[in-house]
A and B are shown apart, each in its own frame.
Chain A
Amino acid sequence: MKFDPRTKLIMVFSFSTLAVFVIDIYLLLVVLLISIIVSNYFKEDWDFLKRAKKYITLLMGIVLIQSIFSPAGEILLSINKITILTTGGLAKGIRVILRMLIIIISATIMKGSSPREIIQALIQWKVPYEIAFMVSLSIRFIPILGEEAKDAFTAIQLRGIEIDKLSLGKRFKIYSYMFMPVLSGVIHRAKELSTSLEARAFRAYPDRTSYIKLELSKKDYLIMLASLLFTVLIFGIYIIMG
């Protein structure tokens, strides 16, 4: 079943808003569960979770840092009188991770819509075309910029530098050498891009026509309403719980 990108955007906004404002861990778990069910309903692949495995250490690090710098509650682990893990710190860390997961998983709901459809959705919400297009273009060019950085990194390695064997300080120095070629590559690409845009009559007139037109159906309105009700319900429970 195909949904209007605006419906999906409303769902993403609802989940993300709840993730940011709700503090209670159990409520965050409910929001996470619902976002997983919704994302699964849209049949989004979960391959990104396999790729995210390498970030587990980072997530654990977040929990630990939260715990060390904002200790609260009972001490769970301490070394030489230095508090490492506390119940309050652990709860904060878990909250951060849950929030990140909700935002990432709810964003996957948008994967089924093409960037052109998302731009059109924003335009029909009266967002200026230039801004909507700019957002889409920046997403389109993230992988290309990644390639640019990878090329510079490979070029450094081909000069006989084994990055893995260097100390952290030296590694940062090597990364700083990458900055200039990557930056100049990015500027060059931006220049090529703007030239192509001009040659295709971009911003020729204050208005432009749209080849595609989005129309909301009954099911879209229903889903939007359900999303808003869900948001209000969670907020209501959160406020009642104090």
Chain B
Amino acid sequence: MSALIKAEGLSFSYSEQNHNILDNLNLEVDEGEILAILGLSGSGKSTLCYCLSGIIPHVYSGELSGEVKINGRLVKEMDMPLIATKLGIVFQNPETQLFFPMVESELAFGPENLCINRDEIKRRIDLTLDLLNLEDKRNENTGHLSGGQKQLIALASVLTLRPNILIFDEVMAQIDKKGKNAIKDIILELKKEGKTVIMVSHNLDNIDVADRIMALKNGRLMRFEGSL
């Protein structure tokens, strides 16, 4: 089976830094797999997520070498709208991922950007809310939700773009145990649906649903052997 995401010889340094935060990194993720990447703060976990999702080089610039491919296509040659339909990313802070007070408007935002018609947007919203068990939150104000629920809405708003790959960048860092368990259940549900998931965390407890764990150290990925 060929890898769904492949990074080869990936190195990156931010313009204001003189060292590589990612250094000749290699990675392969298979379809339907849950891969966890564990790393200490400042080890480059978010930078790796940005490279895999095309945010680097499309949004942030710096010294990038090596290549990242999704389905065999180079990410740097794909534009952001195309990437958004193939790969969705959920970040640590739900506050900066929710743009509207109403849950339904939030979920419609991505498909609206992709010029999806109204009926299809409604269908996607219904399916996503059903999958995440959030039907009762459809008309809620996002400001009144808990941190875990906000993070689920951020995930739901990415899922309405129908990506096959999902990246979770420290999504459980700011939420309580109940919220963490809800997200873990969803991740397992997404795996059943055939989605590929990459989870990034600094905490081993947050990634116990993963099929495979790798450690990010000194800019490279290696097999996780119990400690960082």
Contacts and interface: CB of A to CB of B under 8 A. Distances in A.
Grouping DSSP codes into helix (H, G, I), strand (E, B) and loop, the B interface class, with mixed when no group exceeds half, is helix
Interface in A83-131: 114-116
B109 interface: yes
A196 B101 contact: no
B105 A116 contact: yes
Contact of B113 (A144, A189, A201): A201
B81 interface: yes
B100 A204 contact: no
B198 interface: no
Find the residue from A136, A140, A195 having the highest chain B CB count within 10 A.
Answer: A195
B93 A209 contact: no
B188 to A, nearest CB: 23
A200 B109 contact: yes
B96 interface: yes
B58 interface: yes
B158 interface: yes
Nearest to A210: B112
A193 interface: yes
Interface string B101-124: 110110011111111111001100
A208 interface: yes
B214 interface: no
A208 B122 CA distance: 15
A204 B111 CA distance: 10
B87 to A, nearest CB: 9
Nearest to A205: B115
A74 interface: no
A195 B113 contact: no
B81 A205 contact: yes
Given A115-B100, A200-B109, A207 B84 contact: no
Given A116-B105, A144-B95, A192-B96, A201 B110 contact: yes
Given A204-B114, A205-B115, A209-B121, A198 B58 contact: yes
Contacts of B85: 201
A238 interface: no
A233 interface: no
Given A196-B91, A196-B97, A114 B110 contact: no
9 closest pairs, A vs B, by CB?
Answer: A204-B81, A211-B108, A116-B105, A192-B96, A201-B84, A201-B113, A200-B110, A196-B97, A201-B81
Interface of A: 114-116, 133, 136-137, 140, 144, 189, 192-205, 207-213
Given A209-B112, A209-B121, 5 more contacts: A114-B100, A133-B99, A198-B59, A201-B113, A204-B80
